[in-house]
Amino acid sequence: MKYPLDCEEDVKTSFMFWLARYVKFKLNSLSNKELRDPHALSSVNYRLARGVPSIDELDGMVKEARNAGLTGVSTYFNPLRKFYDTLIYYPIGSLKQIDEELISEILASITGGLSDASRKNYRISIINFFSFLDKQNEEDGKAHVFDIGLKNWQGITGNSGTKLPEYMSEDEVKRFLQAIDEAEFKNNTNRNKLILKIIIFTGIRVSEALNLKRKDIYEDGELYNIRIRAKGNKYRVVMVKRYLIEPYLDAIAINYINKEGYLFINKKGGRLTQAYVSRIVEQVLFKAGIRKAKNGAHMLRHTFATLLYKNQKDLVLVQEALGHASLNTSRIYTHFNNEKLKIAAEVVAEINEGVSS
């Protein structure tokens, strides 16, 4: 069913109406192969159909859907939440007054300091939302078409603006691993140590670690093979020496409330969150005396990839180990391949010595 674009008494309420409809549309179009709680998703859909009075309530519904196992919904919603929070301060009387110039202005204010990857995500989210509006609004047999492309938006700088990943040096990794061994967490110490060591020793994503089931880890001589369910529901296998994680794997408490068999669960039987894993990474980094601009769990993956390339100089190996679809994604880990730069420094030093003599 289609509705007039300005379907409510003010812009704020109209935008909320369409935002709720868009979220409902995304909930039913995203892949549900990871869905763990169909009843929770049904509840969210039911409440969305009845109308959502506030952006905070809609935010809560999105989080419920994400926690139920519907991946990707936050990626589409969060930029629109930020956009809404800024748009409501503009003195416009109709959604029809929103154009590329206004959108670009708002994007410039809400994406300052973000990486190019995040800015691209904001751009895609905005374009998809207004494309949805183009197709769903209608009044007197006519639709208002925004036709938002943001081709000239200057928020994205391209490859030259790519930021280098945050990572630990070999010495810092040793201190980090020692801090893991010495750490005492308030709850489930073996579980927390195991997930940190699996990520740092294999480079898998935090989300991939949280999806691990006990049956995904099996012995192969001196190794553990770990079956990973990766992005796009593709599978790959990573390996780790058994002695590195076996004591923690043997000691981890199995909570049988979790009938699906997930390895990293809380005391209620639900899976851990990425935010929780990042918090324990920060605790261990603090204990090890390591300070980084970005202390989240994803930094462990960057560390694994950086040190792997540094020691092997094999970009294809990095691509396969990290499960990157494209070799270009892996190229960022060549950032410290500075042997030729060292040669240049030596040449300049020799020239300087010749001048001094």
pLDDT in tens, the chain (357 residues): 788 999 877 889 999 999 999 999 999 888 777 788 889 999 999 999 888 989 999 999 999 998 888 888 888 999 999 999 999 888 888 999 998 888 988 998 888 888 888 888 899 999 999 999 999 998 888 899 998 988 777 655 444 445 567 888 889 999 999 999 998 887 788 899 999 999 999 988 888 898 898 889 999 999 999 998 866 567 888 989 999 999 988 887 555 445 677 888 887 777 888 888 988 999 999 999 988 777 778 888 888 888 887 777 766 777 777 777 666 666 666 665 555 556 666 776 776 676 655
d(CA 240, CA 194): 12
Dihedral sign (CA 38, 43, 44, 45): positive
* Residue-level pLDDT at 159: 45
d(CA 315, CA 79): 33
CATH of 170-337, one of 1.10.150.120, 1.10.443.10, 3.40.50.620, 3.30.420.340: 1.10.443.10
Copy the structure tokens of residue 292: 């980084």
* Residue-level pLDDT at 314: 67
Q: Please provide residue 22's backbone torsions phi and psi, each rounded to the nearest 5 degrees.
A: -65, -45
d(CA 255, CA 263): 9
Helix ranges (DSSP H) in the chain: 11-27, 38-49, 55-67, 73-87, 100-110, 116-136, 170-182, 189-202, 206-210, 242-251, 274-288, 298-312, 315-322, 327-330, 339-356
What is the set of active-site residues? Answer: 205, 231, 298, 301, 324, 333
d(CA 122, CA 86): 14
Q: Other C-beta atoms within 10 Å of 38: how many? A: 11
pLDDT in tens, 27-67: 988 877 778 888 999 999 999 988 898 999 999 999 999 88
Domain locations in the chain?
11-161, 170-337
Cβ(150)–Cβ(123) below 8 Å: yes
d(CA 45, CA 53): 15
* Residue-level pLDDT at 194: 94
Q: Distance between the two ends of the chain, CA-based, in angstroms?
A: 85
Output DSSP code: residue 316: H
Copy the structure tokens of residue 154: 């200057």
Residue 270 burial by CB count (10 A; 0-12/13-18/19+): exposed, middle or buried?
middle
Q: At what angle are helices 73-87 and 55-67 packed, to 10 degrees?
A: 170
